[in-house]
Amino acid sequence: MNTIILDENNPQDIQTAGKLLHDGGLVVIPTETVYGLAADALNPTAVSKIFEAKGRPNDNPLIVHISDLSQLPALVKEIPESALRLADAFWPGPLTMIFPKSELIPYETSGKLETVAIRFPSNKTALAVINAAGTPLAAPSANLSGKPSPTTFSHVKDDLNGRVDAIINGKDCEVGVESTVITLVGDTIKILRPGGITKHQLESVLGHVEVDSAVVNPVAKGQTVSSPGMKYMHYSPKADITIIDGSPFDFVSFVNQQGDCHALCFEEDTSSLGVPFVSYGTRYDGEKQAQRLFSALHELDEKNAKTVYARIPSKNGVGLAVYNRLVRAAGFQICNPEHCYVIGLTGPSGSGKTTVCQVMNQLGAAIIDCDEVSKSPAVYDKDCLQELQNAFGSTILKDGKLQRKELAKIAFASDDNRKKLNAITHPRILAKVWEMITQAKAVGKKLIVVDAPTLFESGLDEKCARILVVTAKEETRIHRIMQRDNLTFEEAELRIKAQKPPSFYLSRADHIISGDDGSNFAKRLTPIVNGLLQNIDHT
């Protein structure tokens, strides 16, 4: 088949695309998530061609794309009130909702189901093409079935040139992973496939939202699934991928020991890797990871990678979508080379970190208190004292002994001084903490909690496989600090204002514990601990 290439900026080309679709043809269109392989959703013959072009099993239903909310009622049997609230909040955008289907939707489109998935995309070209076609468009991702989804025009051309009537040459997709698919059928709202709209965003509109177990777990043979797409091998490049579940440091050490392999890493790793790599964003930027992941998988193919070790993304926020895609690309192969987790515990002061540590200790974890380490004589050896004296003058020493109050006075007088102090002490504290981590591992500890108020600033997060953040309301924290350090309200408030805001910690967290009510920490921490221990057993 001769595939014509259309330009998204040429209005004539948009009309051509619309006409092809109206007449039952196949056209690849850009969307904000991934490129879609579109056909008239109401035309069974046209829809059947999608399955053929992609090599897709015909029981895997398609998403129907609309360009206006007014098109929804004709396509579905009923619209729950919750759907309207979600539409109001997230449409147009990367959210797909499943409804009982109307007679208008052919079984070819719904994969023989009585339900239909509907999405109102935000991409201008996609909307213009739906309008030009004059019909809702069924569109799966425009890749060959099983391959990584396309996020650029060139990905699409590689897979589908010669298999479709036209491809629209558009921009790279800004979200980079497919839409969030939720079901509204039944009482609970459930995420069947995580995507650009996060669980947290959905919950901000609706309250509690569930996540289908197939999102992060493999589907057993014969198990029935809520979303047929979950059961197929997915997003696979040619390489054999294994996810390395450990800290950034563990990842780099492991990969460098392997030799003949490629790394699918984060930007931060690139300078320490001794093997070829492709990076997919940075550790704490889930959006960037989502945008990059499929492109990175394509690049691994271009490099002809055979064995790939991948950095594990967080499952928090849009990270859940990234993890969901990557774990499928890896065929659920995950390895924790250290057979243990170092957990960085941090959060704004007064949140309840100390209590969380105590509970984690009761649950079997080793605890390393960095505040304590930072005061230990082991850190302030002769060299260290000399460097401090060079930096801050001789008043910080008396009879060769460190005058802590004097040091604090000088060091905290300016930002510059504080940086100087950190540059001298942090590497030494880190070395001591690392020694303690190594000891805890040596005695067989599976979970090691490092309590570090400045986990990120000190760079200690590099040694942590997971980040546990404890936060509490500002009011709670102020009162705790007043009591603990015998301060006035104003003094405590000043101290809090000088620190990083809660959002700084939350955006880097794998697990979040609210410290407002310290009474049931054990109940909330136990599932986290059990989950991690189970992972170790399975890898």
Q: Which residue is nearest to ligand TXA (CB)?
A: 229
525 vs 363: CA distance, rounded Å: 8
Q: What is the dihedral of CA 457, 287, 156, 311, to 10 degrees?
A: 40
Choice between 25 and 229, CB closer to ligand TXA: 229
Between 196 and 344, CB nearer to ligand TXA = 196
CA angle 73, 201, 181 (to 5 degrees): 50
Residue nearer to Mg ion on the CB measure, 135 or 141: 141
Per-residue exposure over 216-249, b if at least 16 CB sit within 10 Å of its own CB, e if not:
eeebeeeeeebbbbbbeebbbbebebbbbbbbbb
Report the residue from 141, 179, 226, 242 that binds Mg ion according to the rule CB under 5 A.
141
Q: For ligand TXA, give the closer residue by CB, 34 or 75.
A: 34
Q: Are 54 and 150 in contact, with CB atoms under 8 Å apart?
A: no
| 17/169 Cα distance (integer angstroms) | 12
Min dist. Cβ of residue 487 to ligand TXA (A): 51
Residue 352 interacts, among Mg ion, ligand TXA, none and using kind-specific CB cut-offs from 5 to 8 Å, with: none
Residue position matching structure tokens 């929804």: 72
**To the nearest whole angstrom, how small is the minimum distance from the Cβ of residue 215 to ligand TXA?**
11
CB of 164 to Mg ion, least distance (A): 15
Site residue total, Mg ion (CB under 5 A): 1
Minimum distance, C-beta of residue 286 to ligand TXA, in the bound complex (Å): 17
From the CB of 86, what's the least distance to ligand TXA, in Å?
Answer: 15
- Interaction partner, residue 482 (ligand TXA, Mg ion, none; CB < 5-8 Å by kind): none
Characterize the bridge pairing of strands 262-265 and 307-311. parallel
CA distances from 443 to 71, 125, 440, 538 (A): 64, 59, 5, 21
Residue 359 interacts with, from ligand TXA, Mg ion, none (CB under 5-8 Å by kind): none
Taking CB under 5 A as the binding criterion, the range among 69-77, 135-143, 336-344, 398-406 that sits at the site for Mg ion is 135-143
The answer to whether the CB of 451 falls within 8 A of the CB of 359 is: no
Nearer to ligand TXA, 62 or 357 (CB): 62
Distances 79 to 76, 116, 138 between C-alpha atoms, Å: 7, 12, 20
In the bound state with Mg ion, the residue whose beta carbon lies nearer, of 110 and 141, is 141
- Taking CB under 5 A as the rule, does residue 109 contact Mg ion? no
Determine if 125 is a binding residue for Mg ion (CB under 5 A): no
Residues that bind ligand TXA (CB under 6 A): 31, 33-34, 36, 60-63, 94, 96, 98, 110, 113, 115-117, 119, 139-141, 178-179, 181, 192-193, 227-229
Residue pair 99/82 in contact by the 8 Å Cβ criterion: no
Nearer Cβ to Mg ion, position 141 or 316? 141
Query: What is the nearest approach in angstroms of ligand TXA to the Cβ of residue 294?
Result: 11
Of residues 181 and 492, the one with the C-beta less far from ligand TXA: 181
Site for Mg ion in 66-95 (CB under 5 A): none
Q: Could you tell me the smallest distance in angstroms from the CB atom of residue 409 to ligand TXA? A: 57
Among the listed ranges 51-59, 70-78, 137-145, 415-423, the one in contact with Mg ion (CB under 5 A) is 137-145
Region binding Mg ion by CB under 5 A among candidate stretches 136-144, 195-203, 471-479, 524-532: 136-144
In the complex, residue closest to Mg ion by CB:
141
DSSP letter (8 states) at residue 314: P
State the nearest-atom distance from the C-beta of 288 to ligand TXA, in Å: 18
Contact 63, 138 (CB under 8 A): yes
122 is an interface residue for Mg ion by CB under 5 A:
no
Report the SS3 class of residue 277: strand
Give the residue with the Cβ less far from ligand TXA, 184 or 265.
184
Helix, coil or strand: residue 124: helix
Q: Which does 250 bind (CB under 5 to 8 A by kind): ligand TXA, Mg ion, none?
A: none
Task: Indicate the helix (H) or strand (E) that contains 326.
Answer: helix 319-329
Give the nearer residue to ligand TXA in terms of CB position, either 8 or 369: 8
Task: Give me the count of residues in the chain.
Answer: 539
Among Mg ion, ligand TXA, none, what does residue 34 contact (CB within 5–8 Å per kind)? ligand TXA
Helix (H, G, I), strand (E, B) or coil at 346: strand
User: Residue 346 binds which entry of Mg ion, ligand TXA, none, with Cβ cut-offs from 5 to 8 Å by kind?
Assistant: none
Residue list 373-432, contact with Mg ion (CB under 5 A): none
Residue-by-residue DSSP string for 382-427: HHHHHHHHHHH-GGGEETTEE-HHHHHHHHTTSHHHHHHHHHHHHH
DSSP-assigned beta bridge partners for residue 311:
244
How many Å apart are CA 178 and CA 249, to the nearest integer?
Answer: 31
Q: How far is the CB of 230 from ligand TXA (least distance, A)?
A: 6
Q: Among 142, 151, 144, which Cα is nearest to 292's?
A: 151
Element of type H or E holding 504: helix 502-506
Nearer to ligand TXA, 8 or 178 (CB): 178
For Mg ion, the binding residues (CB under 5 A) are: 141
